[in-house]
Structure 1
Amino acid sequence: MLCCPRRDRVTSFWSVVTPDKSVAEIEAERWVFVVPYGVDKYCLPLCTVPFRRWMLFLAAFVAQFCNGSLYAWSILNDPIDGYIQTGDQNTTQTVDQHAVVTFYVACGCMGFACALFGPHVERQGPRASLLLGTFIFFIGNVISYVSVHFKLYAGLYVGYGLFCGVGFGINYIAPVSALQKWFPDLRGTAGGFAVCGFGLGATLWSNIYEPLMDAIGIDKLFLVVGSIISVTLLLTSFVLRTPPPDFVVRGRDVHGVKVTSTMVPKAREDFDNLIPGDSGAITERVSTVLGDVQVVNYFKVFDYQEEELGEAEILYHNKIKNLQIRECVFSVDFAFLYLAFLTAVATGLIFMSRVVSLGKNVYNRQDDDAMTRLVMFIAICNFMGRLLCPIVSDGVIRLLQINPAFGRKLTMSTLMVVQIVLLVWLPKIIQDETTFDTFQCLMCILTFCYGGVMGTIPSFLTDMYGVYNTGTMHGIILTCWALCAVAGGLTFQYFFYHVKDDHEGEGRLAEIAAYTFNFHWLLILVCIGCVLIPFVRTNPVDRFFPGYQISFWGRPIVRWIRDDY
């Protein structure tokens, strides 16, 4: 590949070629732990427990729990600044806030690593990708240890910000991609389990950091925690894998397409029922190329019940399965979805890091235990949102028998509408100092909505762009998360201090005015997202129309046909 022209190398990198599995790999993957030691060489089973696909739920949760340590960085800011500037991590002196920049760098690198390494995850698989991400993460922690020990902020930005950020990005999307392939019958549930551990990990790692810092020092913390997380991720990587080529569960292949005995002669009904030692037959995935189909039953395609579709509609369905990455990324629908997703996660992401300051300065709650409980409740709501909302979307799709992508869009739209209601209500609530309990409830609901959007988006992207583009598309859309964490946080900070300094009042009144202004511009942002989300076309007839078309309940309301068609 290095001998190819530069353009060919770029094209090759951004092209997903489904990797073939050898008989040796399929045989090794019948057991729970798969340990490769060479090209197509695997260690003898370390554990003779047969692999079951539900084990991936636990593996993904553990991986994301480790990734959640990034969210606990705020605990390290003051000790790092104190140690580097005064030599005492517990100093009471006023120090400049430089360590927080590390978090912003890590968030930015994580988001863009998700996008850059998406094709790598799909091409090399989750096991190799998680091993790569773990190695980069460990190197970052070693650099961070050396940097803090010798009191170098620049080294900390490179070590934890760049290296660990990239490692977090790869390790975040690898489990998501794997679960989407193993659970075509429960895509939302799989996506929720794949990311829910990230939110819960933040709180638990925060409780681990403080006693560990007191015991071993802030510099050695990176070596100890980095080693613990790296070993855990290493063991997790031995569990992650993609399905075998002829994988069928509940009559559906990895794409969610119903498979009959004539299509796959020796299809296995569920990988959970495989007998260890039986290598099975390897079949090739058959792709169908979309032809020119001009007569379509719009109502049938909108409902998207494949077992009832005719030949023309099935061609449209197969077009989704065979989309190229460039077709996905440069589509109008993805542009609208990208912007809508950005507006949907901005409020929750920004306020999760500021809820303690808001509680102390607006409600005068100086009780650290009360603030700790609030942070714990928010983390739990983030976790529950990531887990429950995708499960609910699966239930809605089955109950109403609707297009899966439309069901995800409906779930995401509902969560955005709830955010609008909360952002209208919050400026009024914080005016009254006695409404702290109500404020806590609203912040928990807001965080639940944020988690719900984060949990629903993997299955939404899989339904829209196909299972072999999941890793790449999920990685690209997570750059929104990075933009919100960095640009959104800085924008909030700018407006907050600008309004507070210009306000005639002081203390609590100035704080309320600053927060109210930020609530207002975030409200406008979410409203824009609600306007954009209907333009994300989930009807395949509209999406692949030769030009541009939007339908409402199966009836075209906007149609433009290309001149060359």
Structure 2
Amino acid sequence: MKNSWLFKLVKYHYRDKSSPKSEKQIEDEKYLIFNIPFNRWILFASAFFLQFCLGFSSIWSIFNKPIDKHIFDDPTKGRAPIAYYLETCINSLTYLYVGPWLERNGPRKGILVGGILFSLGQFVMALGAHTKQISIIYIGYGLFCGIGHAFLYLAPVSALQKWFPDHKGLASGFAVCGVSAGVISFSQVTLPLLNKVGLINTFIVYGSFFFFVFMIQAFLFRLPPPGYQPEKKSTSTTAAAAAADDTNTPTGNEKEEVLKKSSETDISDLLKKEEKQLEFTKSIAESEVTVLADPDLSKMSIKKALHTKEFRLILFMFFANGFGGLIIGSRISNLVQDIFGKTAGDAATVITINGVFNLVGRVISGPVSERIGRLQTFIVIMAASTLIFSAFAVVIVERVFIAFVILVWVFNVFFGGFFGTIPAFLSDQFGNKNISPCHAIILTVWNLSGVFGGFLFTGIYDSLKNNGHSVSDPILYTTNLYWAVATLFVGLIKYPNSTFKKTFLSSLANIVELYYSILEETLFSLHLQDI
């Protein structure tokens, strides 16, 4: 096996190697354009717009009936959804290639390649609609958009972590939050656009818009220079304090008094320093075994990073999260209409607001993980998701619509939180050079878990329906929810019991502490307003 060409190819692709920058390139990238200096904070907006365009991939279901009607003159033909499955599979497999490639070539080349392919996919779909060939639609969306999506999604994530080592959580959440904003916007714009200009021109409009946005972002994105460290805020304060000390420098007799005092305290200061050094040496000696036992994960190779317990843990947790989350997300419209008897408009409203909560989860999870810890954040998300899924079964049987909507929205805060935390977690555990390869494998497993879970859900759903249960019967969903809850629970307890209990209790304590600190600050600000 190890001597096979495929194994050697994979090993070569996942090698530890990066392309160094030339001196000229480093100098040129100090400026945005002309003599305008580059500012790292512009990458937040750039990453947002980049991911915003990728929200298009999540609203494909809107095109299903218009494409089937345009090509087959039958909106219920059911051929257009196959394009989405192709895109998901190709996108998942492309992640495995893109991860190491980005670390060697940088985000700019990644955005250029991905942007051209994703935009070209729109024009290929316009050609497929014009010729009424569904196979060309599959090539445009499944192949071109699927490959381009993988390049574009991963490109800003690793770059932001390298530019913002002092704000890893914030950079982590902002790197991926644009997708949710794109889903919200495109879900509202696409149908009116289809009605106004038609299917073919809609693809042309989107393709032109995406190409324009992606090329601008490719121009803006870059990696920091070697050895980059952000400037500390305290620099100006220290300089001001030093200037103040210079103006107050003692002269004459004052200098003699200072020298006398300093000579009297020199001996005591030296003794104190020696005592501190002895204490420090003693503490190092006592903890020497512990220090040596903990590997420096930030300097691990890609191969070693992929074999660590931490990576296997997060991989399984993402599998469980995708297994359950993607299933409930793809069935919200059916649940709202079939179980609760609401209209398609009501379902669309629930899904749109759902995207807002997903966006909020992606943005706030990173900063929250800075306060309570990355692993603690993941465990809290898994615990909350397990409880919410358990409650879904009760709410669906009792048909309490308001409770169902609240649960869906709260769940999506945690669901988005997974994506907003993972880049910072990978950076902390394995170092910036391993973010893209590790993230790529995690996204592949997450996508495939959703596909596998979707097939399993559909199989059980169809089997129960064929046995006489109507689409409004809760058993079609509660039966599936049982194994989804079981999968989430296994993902929750995957960590060793002692570590899990300690981490989970620590997470709850930190969340309570964070809650009360925010409450205290709010009350204090209100008190100041009253004064």
| TM-based fold match above 0.5 | yes
The alpha-carbon distance between structure 1 residues 6 and 494, as it changes in their structure 2 partners (threshold 3 A), is closer
In 1, the alpha carbon distance for the partners of 2:94 and 2:498 equals 25
Q: After the TM superposition, which of the residue ranges 12-21 and 120-129 deviates more from structure 2?
A: 12-21
Shift of 1:9: 5.5
Q: TM-score, normalised by structure 2?
A: 0.79
2:46 to 59, 63, 73: 59
Shift of 1:6: 8.0
Shift of 1:154: 1.9
1:191 equivalenced with 2:180 (yes/no) = no
1:417 to 383, 400, 418: 383
Match of 2:348 in 1: 372
Shift of 1:7: 6.9
1:73 equivalenced with 2:60 (yes/no) = yes
Deviations 1:162-190 (A, max 9, x none): 11111001100000010111111221211
2:363 to 387, 406, 414: 387
Shift of 1:131: 0.5
1:246 equivalenced with 2:227 (yes/no) = yes
Shift of 1:440: 0.5
1:13 equivalenced with 2:13 (yes/no) = yes
In 2, the alpha carbon distance for the partners of 1:132 and 1:247 equals 26
In 2, the alpha carbon distance for the partners of 1:536 and 1:460 equals 21
In 2, the alpha carbon distance for the partners of 1:78 and 1:357 equals 16
Shift of 1:537: 8.7
Paired residue type of 1:460: F
The alpha-carbon distance between structure 1 residues 355 and 27, as it changes in their structure 2 partners (threshold 3 A), is same
Match of 1:182 in 2: 163
Match of 2:185 in 1: 204
Percent identity, aligned pairs only? 31
Deviations 1:481-536 (A, max 9, x none): 32133222222111112123325x5452x2x1111111111000101101214489
Match of 2:476 in 1: 514
Describe how 1:335-414 pairs up with structure 2 within 5 A: 335-366=312-343, 368=345, 370-396=346-372, 407-414=373-380
Shift of 1:113: 1.4
The alpha-carbon distance between structure 1 residues 133 and 317, as it changes in their structure 2 partners (threshold 3 A), is farther
Deviations 1:94-129 (A, max 9, x none): 531111111111112222212211111111110111
Shift of 1:228: 0.7
The alpha-carbon distance between structure 1 residues 326 and 374, as it changes in their structure 2 partners (threshold 3 A), is same
In 1, the alpha carbon distance for the partners of 2:101 and 2:292 equals 28
The alpha-carbon distance between structure 1 residues 366 and 125, as it changes in their structure 2 partners (threshold 3 A), is same
In 1, the alpha carbon distance for the partners of 2:393 and 2:294 equals 46
1:453 equivalenced with 2:418 (yes/no) = yes
Contact 2:358–2:413 (CA under 8 A) maintained in structure 1: yes
Contact 2:315–2:445 (CA under 8 A) maintained in structure 1: yes
1:151 equivalenced with 2:132 (yes/no) = yes
Paired residue type of 2:316: L
In 1, the alpha carbon distance for the partners of 2:97 and 2:498 equals 24
* Structure 2 unmatched ranges of 5 or more: 237-283, 507-531
Shift of 1:359: 0.4
In 2, the alpha carbon distance for the partners of 1:316 and 1:55 equals 41
Q: After the TM superposition, which of the residue ranges 480-489 and 240-249 deviates more from structure 2?
A: 480-489
In 2, the alpha carbon distance for the partners of 1:24 and 1:312 equals 46
Paired residue type of 1:482: N
Q: TM-score, normalised by structure 1?
A: 0.75
Shift of 1:54: 1.4
1:324 equivalenced with 2:289 (yes/no) = no
**How many equivalent pairs are there?**
452
Shift of 1:84: 0.7
Shift of 1:315: 6.8
The alpha-carbon distance between structure 1 residues 117 and 385, as it changes in their structure 2 partners (threshold 3 A), is same
In 2, the alpha carbon distance for the partners of 1:526 and 1:390 equals 22
* Structure 1 unmatched ranges of 5 or more: 33-44, 87-92, 253-267, 271-306, 397-406, 539-551, 554-565
In 1, the alpha carbon distance for the partners of 2:305 and 2:235 equals 31
Shift of 1:142: 2.5
1:118 to 91, 99, 104: 99
Paired residue type of 2:319: L
Deviations 1:349-386 (A, max 9, x none): 22222111100110101151x22321121000111111
Contact 2:86–2:143 (CA under 8 A) maintained in structure 1: yes
Paired residue type of 1:514: L
Match of 1:431 in 2: 397
1:230 equivalenced with 2:217 (yes/no) = no
Contact 1:67–1:172 (CA under 8 A) maintained in structure 2: yes
Contact 1:60–1:193 (CA under 8 A) maintained in structure 2: yes
In 1, the alpha carbon distance for the partners of 2:168 and 2:286 equals 21
Contact 2:126–2:204 (CA under 8 A) maintained in structure 1: yes
* CA RMSD in angstroms, aligned pairs only: 2.9
The alpha-carbon distance between structure 1 residues 534 and 408, as it changes in their structure 2 partners (threshold 3 A), is farther
In 1, the alpha carbon distance for the partners of 2:405 and 2:169 equals 28
Paired residue type of 1:358: L
1:132 equivalenced with 2:132 (yes/no) = no
The alpha-carbon distance between structure 1 residues 251 and 115, as it changes in their structure 2 partners (threshold 3 A), is farther
Contact 1:500–1:513 (CA under 8 A) maintained in structure 2: no
The alpha-carbon distance between structure 1 residues 80 and 462, as it changes in their structure 2 partners (threshold 3 A), is same
Contact 1:461–1:473 (CA under 8 A) maintained in structure 2: yes
Match of 2:253 in 1: none
Shift of 1:464: 1.6
1:490 equivalenced with 2:467 (yes/no) = no
- The SS at the match of 2:36 is coil
Contact 1:112–1:475 (CA under 8 A) maintained in structure 2: no
Paired residue type of 1:132: V
2:443 to 467, 472, 478: 478
The alpha-carbon distance between structure 1 residues 95 and 6, as it changes in their structure 2 partners (threshold 3 A), is closer
- The SS at the match of 1:431 is helix
Paired residue type of 2:329: M
Contact 2:52–2:182 (CA under 8 A) maintained in structure 1: yes
Contact 1:104–1:485 (CA under 8 A) maintained in structure 2: no
- The SS at the match of 1:117 is helix
Contact 1:114–1:172 (CA under 8 A) maintained in structure 2: no
Which one has a larger percent helix, Structure 1 or Structure 2? 2
Q: Between Structure 1 and Structure 2, whose CA radius of gyration is higher?
A: 2
Shift of 1:155: 1.9
The alpha-carbon distance between structure 1 residues 251 and 208, as it changes in their structure 2 partners (threshold 3 A), is same
In 2, the alpha carbon distance for the partners of 1:64 and 1:392 equals 22
In 2, the alpha carbon distance for the partners of 1:318 and 1:178 equals 25
